[in-house]
């Protein structure tokens, strides 16, 4: 299933994409796409619905974030061997974890705002893993059973804030609009192997990132199991799993940073595409 949320910010309603690509209203079946809806029982309720009789959502409404009320937005750093190489970093012995503020979350096609005092804003196409069942001290062999589905994430970063202002990476990752997710959540049963997905990102039509989840250092099952050793994972939590090479900071001979007027497009096989206009902060 491809689940999404449509409508103006703060007023999104749950929807599903039918087999013909028509958006259908799910608000008569579930209250939203998040929390209880993402549990095995909640997804079973949607699967039992005759999607063909649900009301069509006409026109081209805004697509909101594909998950509502995200509890934790957990990020994994340097998780692609080829990305670590382009940055000159050592491949980590264990996953590098950090958090991204949930207030950064926006829809997949909403504008991205470069924050005040930004010097080095950057892009990162990533595979997002959406939790559907509570995970606590989960073994790797059972880890994927706790996944509701997957989505595209643009893990936008301000590298100056992240690496040159001291402290943890979170302040370089958490500006408002720095977390587009969607367009939809694709349930786990539709993705045969999360470690075999092509992914890409373009800025103004130039393809900078063209990678695959095959080069992840730590795969999805490993990450879910590993993170569950340190904190419980709850339905609706998102793990964004790292980026392949081609980020702005890694461009040679000189880095390339986002600037107002840029247009980003990015996507992952089977999970859809995002498109964001980049604007300057006003205020």
- For residues 251 and 244, the answer to whether their CB atoms sit within 8 Å is no
Residues 236 and 226: their CA atoms lie apart, in Å, by 18
Sign of the four-CA dihedral 224, 158, 124, 130: positive
Angle at 128 between CA 49 and CA 140, to 5 degrees: 90
Give the residue extent of every domain in the chain. 2-53, 73-280
Q: Is 106 helix (H, G, I), strand (E, B) or coil?
A: strand
pLDDT at 86: 76
- Among candidates 29, 1, 31, 34, which has minimal Cα distance to 13? 31
CA 45 to chain centre: 25
Give me the tens of pLDDT residue by residue for the chain, a chain 283 residues long.
999 999 999 999 999 999 999 999 999 999 999 999 999 999 999 999 999 999 999 999 999 999 999 999 999 998 998 777 777 778 889 999 999 999 999 999 999 999 999 999 999 999 999 999 999 999 999 999 999 999 999 999 999 998 878 778 899 999 999 999 999 999 999 999 999 999 999 999 999 999 999 999 999 999 999 999 999 999 999 999 999 999 999 999 999 999 999 999 999 999 999 999 999 999 7
Topology (CATH) of 73-280: Fumarylacetoacetate hydrolase; domain 2 (3.90.850)
- What gap in Å lies between CA 122 and CA 21, rounded to an integer? 32
pLDDT at 218: 97
**What is the structure's pLDDT at 87?**
73
> The dihedral of CA 115, 127, 238, 249: what is its sign?
negative
For 164, the token pair is: 């040159």
> What is the rounded CA–CA span in Å between residue 74 and residue 173?
11
Give yes or no for a contact between 40 and 193, defined as CB atoms under 8 angstroms apart: no
Specify the pTM: 0.96
Q: What are the backbone angles phi and psi of residue 5, rounded to the nearest 5°?
A: -135, 130
């Amino acid at each position: 299933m491809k689940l999404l949320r449509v409508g103006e910010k703060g007023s999104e309603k749950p929807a599903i994409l039918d087999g013909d690509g028509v958006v259908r209203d799910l608000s008569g079946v579930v209250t939203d796409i998040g929390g209880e809806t993402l549990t095995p029982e909640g997804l079973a309720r949607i699967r039992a619905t005759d999607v063909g009789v649900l009301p069509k959502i006409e026109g081209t409404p805004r697509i909101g974030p594909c998950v509502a009320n995200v509890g934790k937005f957990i990020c994994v750093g340097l998780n692609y061997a080829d990305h670590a190489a382009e940055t000159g970093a050592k491949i980590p012995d264990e996953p590098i974890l950090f958090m991204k503020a949930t207030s950064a979350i926006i829809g997949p096609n909403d504008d991205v705002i470069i924050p005040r005092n930004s010097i080095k804003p950057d892009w990162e196409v990533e595979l997002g893993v959406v939790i559907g069942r509570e995970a606590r001290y989960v073994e790797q062999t059972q880890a994927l059973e706790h996944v509701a589905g997957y989505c595209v994430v643009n893990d936008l970063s301000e590298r100056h804030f992240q690496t040159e202002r001291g402290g943890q990476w979170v302040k370089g990752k958490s500006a408002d609009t720095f977390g587009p997710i969607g367009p939809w959540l694709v349930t786990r049963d539709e993705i045969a192997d999360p470690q075999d997905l092509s992914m890409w990102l373009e800025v103004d039509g130039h393809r900078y990132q063209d990678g695959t989840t095959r080069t992840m250092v730590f795969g999805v099952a490993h990450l879910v199991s590993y993170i569950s050793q340190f904190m419980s994972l709850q339905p609706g939590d998102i793990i964004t799993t790292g980026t392949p090479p081609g980020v702005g900071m890694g461009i040679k001979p000189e880095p390339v940073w986002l600037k107002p007027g840029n247009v980003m497009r990015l996507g992952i096989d089977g999970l859809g595409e995002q498109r964001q206009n980049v604007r300057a902060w006003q205020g």
